[in-house]
Structures are given as structure tokens and as C-alpha cells.
Amino acid sequence: MRLLSQIFQPIITIPKGAKIKNTEITCKSQKLLLECGLIRPSSAGFFTILPLARRAIDKLEDIINKCLKDVNAQRISLPCLTSARLWESTGRLDDVGSELFTVEDRHDKRYLLAPTHEEAVADLMADVGPISYRQLPLLIYQITNKYRDELRPKHGLLRSREFQMMDLYGFHTDHTCAETTYNNVTRVYEKLFKILNLPVYRVVAPSGDMGGTLSHEWQLPAAAGEDSVAVCPSCSHASLASDVCTQCGKETDICNSIEVGHTFILGTKYSVPLQANCIRQGSNPAPLVMSCYGIGITRLLAAGIEALSTESCIRWPAAVAPYSAIVIGPKEGSKEWSVHGAQETQGVARCIGDVVGDVLVDDRHALTIGKRMMMADRMGYPNIIVCGRHSVENPPRYELYANNDKSPLLLDINELMQFLRNGSSNNVVECVN
């Protein structure tokens, strides 16, 4: 249980009727994250992640970590700085050069702040290799900050110069092994987006600078998206751009979308120049066949808010809301306060915490219940519990606004805990096949 008055949340209050001329705010997720005190810009394309958004990202990371156990992925951490020599070896230094942040050390050796780590992880495999076929397929991943010198960063966390990303790398003896692994990881992606209750589509996409033999983008429909996805209303097949569905021949609905993930079978594009090899049974060493899988974590958080929220209120994927519930007590000095004050309100929160785990108490008792309810709704907490005029009854009853419903349920403490217990089971992260 935490008290809201102790949370560092520098809210930006916009006077009623004020005309906002800040053209740098270009989408609702950026506006809501800034105004609700969840992020703070430090310079163009760079943001400080504040405590409540950090909690949401931590929850998202935890879900991803649990899901990746499904495919026996192992977590590592690679340096943020990668030798430019490795990117020269694969030819990507010139291809992607304009988007790279580069630095030189005191010995005039050139490094780059990695936007991705294919070269670095292939170099790791070369350094410890050749890898035995008995160790394959091998899946290793990391969750780190990445850097890209965007020409025009915009939309807040949707296109920034520093972003948090999960990148998973697969190593295989051959293409058959790579395809089997690719299909297994695809199922993990589908499970992740189901947990988040986000309608993300997998669409065939060009490999671009990454190269390889197979590529899919994972697209979330949203008005602020800079991509577009064509979805067939008949068979639900999706593609990047097609007026007619290739599966059933029906016309498609085209909508803006945000790329929240990208998956590739890379083949040997990186293993050959960097000499990352494996020993196959009964044969000489051969280049590892690689695959890679990315999810933009900070982008996915913002994209989920973009897709689900109203213009004035955040709506989170319930599994990553900063707190699962907020408890609002009576206004100080009211009739209800004399019977159901701060201690009683915190007692309700402790009971609820036994069920949902993470509970926030809005202890700003000088404010009216209505004012605090409005602010809690704007923040999008999945469960808002109000200790109002019915809290003085025997037994006390509480108003529960669940899943942003405007009509409350009136429940005593046992009924409230039972309702939350049943509801919270829907948000349990279960990723075992």
C-alpha cells in the first residue's frame, strides 16, 4: 500500500478554456503521459520516465520475462556501446550511419550507441564458439535502452531517440531449426498481446537493413500510427498494404497502426562476416543460422495508451496499470470522516492489497471525493474504491468503479474482496503451454 501524497507525480494543470499552442504535442498518448506526470522531456527525443510510468514498464517487463520462459530464453546484458568495427564488417555502418550516435575513446577507437545488437551478439558467439549442435537452438535476450538519432523525433515515446527494447536472438544449426523456433516465439508474442488485451496483428514485412529470409511486423491499430495495416473483416487476415485480402478475396479495412514489434529470420548475414560458427553432427564447422525478435517496450506502453485511451483519460492494458486499485476516503471534516477516517480507509486498502497486491490510497483528504475521483479516472486505475456516504453504515459499504465503468457497485468489504479476487484472476500472467 502506498499513499498518493508521497508519489512523485508532477502533474501539468491546464487552465479551463486555455488554448494550447504547443505544437510539439502531436498525439494523445504523449499529451496524457506528460500532463499526468508520467514522463518529462529532457531534450528533443529524450524523456525521463517518472515513478508511475516506471511501475507500468516494470510490470510489462515482468510479463515479457515470464512469457519468454516458455521458449527457454536466457537473459543477458550486452554493452550499450558497440565497436564500429563490427558494423563495418557487416556493411551496416554505411547503410544506417545517419541514424547512429557515435563516439570515440581516448585511443581514437570508434564506438556507437547501439540501436540493436545483431553484430555484438554474433561477435559473442564467435568469441565463445564454435557452438556445438547439442546446445542449439539457443535463445538469449536482453532488455536495455537503445539509441537512434531520429531526424524528427515526435509522438513522445512512440518515436524517441532513446527507447527501451527487448531484443531476443536465436542461434540454430540450419533453417529448419530456425523456422521451428520462429514459430514457437511467434506463439509467445501472440500470448503476450493477449495478456495485454491489445489487438496486435502479425503482417509480412520487408527485411530492410536487417536482412534475412523472413520478416514480420507486429502492428497495433491506432489513429496516431505512422504505418497502416489492412485487415479483412471477413477472415481477419492482415497485411501492410492491400485493398483486397489475398486469403479470401474480400475488401479490407485500412487503418493507421503502430509497429510494436518486429521478428526476423536473419540467416547467416551476421554469422558469416563475424565468423560465428557451430559444429554440426558429423560435419565441419558451419555458420550459425540466426533469428531475432524485438519488442519496443516504451513504445508498446505508449501505443497501448494511444489505442485504448480517450482524449482526456488514460486507459491502460489492465495488466500493466501502475496500481491495480486506488482507495479514496472521505473528505476531512465531513460526517463520513468522523466515522471512517484515515485509519479506516487505509484498513480497507490493506484488505484489498491482500487480493490485488498493489494498492494506492489517495490520502489528499482536503480535496472532495468528486475531485479525487475525477483525477483517478483520468489516470485510468482499473479499480477505484470510494469510501463515501455508505461507509458509515453497519456494515460499511463501498463504491467500486471497476474497469472504468461509470456506474458503481455497492459492496461490503467481503463482497468487495470477492469481486476483486474473481476479477484479478483474469490478469494473472500464465504463459505455460
Query: What CATH number did the domain enclosing 229 receive?
Result: 3.30.930.10
Dump strand ranges (E) for 84-224. 101-104, 110-113, 131-132, 138-147, 162-172, 201-204, 214-221
What total number of domains does the chain contain?
Answer: 2
Say if residue 301 is in the same domain as residue 327.
no
Taking only the tens place, the pLDDT of each residue in 287-312 is: 999 999 999 999 999 999 999 999 99
Distance separating alpha carbons of residues 404 and 74, to the nearest angstrom: 37
Is 433 domain-assigned? no
Give 383's contacts (C-beta < 8 A, 6+ positions apart). Answer: 324, 325, 326, 356, 400, 401, 402, 403, 420, 423
Say if residue 112 is in the same domain as residue 247.
yes
pLDDT class for 19, splitting at 50, 70, 90? Answer: low
Is 148 domain-assigned? yes
- The CATH number assigned to the domain holding 398 equals 3.40.50.800
Say if residue 258 is in the same domain as residue 356.
no
Say if residue 201 is in the same domain as residue 84.
yes
Of 251, 271, 306, the position where a domain reaches its end is 306
Give 193's contacts (C-beta < 8 A, 6+ positions apart). Answer: 199, 200, 218
What domain range includes position 182? 7-306
Taking only the tens place, the pLDDT of each residue in 349-399 is: 999 999 998 999 999 999 999 999 999 999 999 999 999 999 999 999 999
DSSP state of 330: P
Q: Which residue has the cell 537503445?
A: 146
Is 184 domain-assigned? yes
Q: Looking at the predicted structure, is the pLDDT value of residue 94 above 70?
A: yes
CA dihedral 69, 71, 75, 76 (to 10 degrees): 170
Say if residue 36 is in the same domain as residue 84.
yes
Taking only the tens place, the pLDDT of each residue in 205-215 is: 988 777 778 99
Q: Is residue 24 helix, strand or coil?
A: coil
Say if residue 149 is in the same domain as residue 272.
yes
Task: Specify whether the CB–CB gap between 29 and 305 falls below 8 A.
Answer: yes
DSSP state of 317: -
Task: Specify whether the CB–CB gap between 353 and 319 falls below 8 A.
Answer: no
Say if residue 69 is in the same domain as residue 106.
yes
Mean pLDDT, range 323-333, rounded to an integer: 96
Say if residue 62 is in the same domain as residue 176.
yes
Distance separating alpha carbons of residues 304 and 353, to the nearest angstrom: 25
Of 306, 331, 365, the position where a domain reaches its end is 306
Say if residue 385 is in the same domain as residue 251.
no
pLDDT class for 15, splitting at 50, 70, 90? Answer: low
Of 263, 280, 306, the position where a domain reaches its end is 306
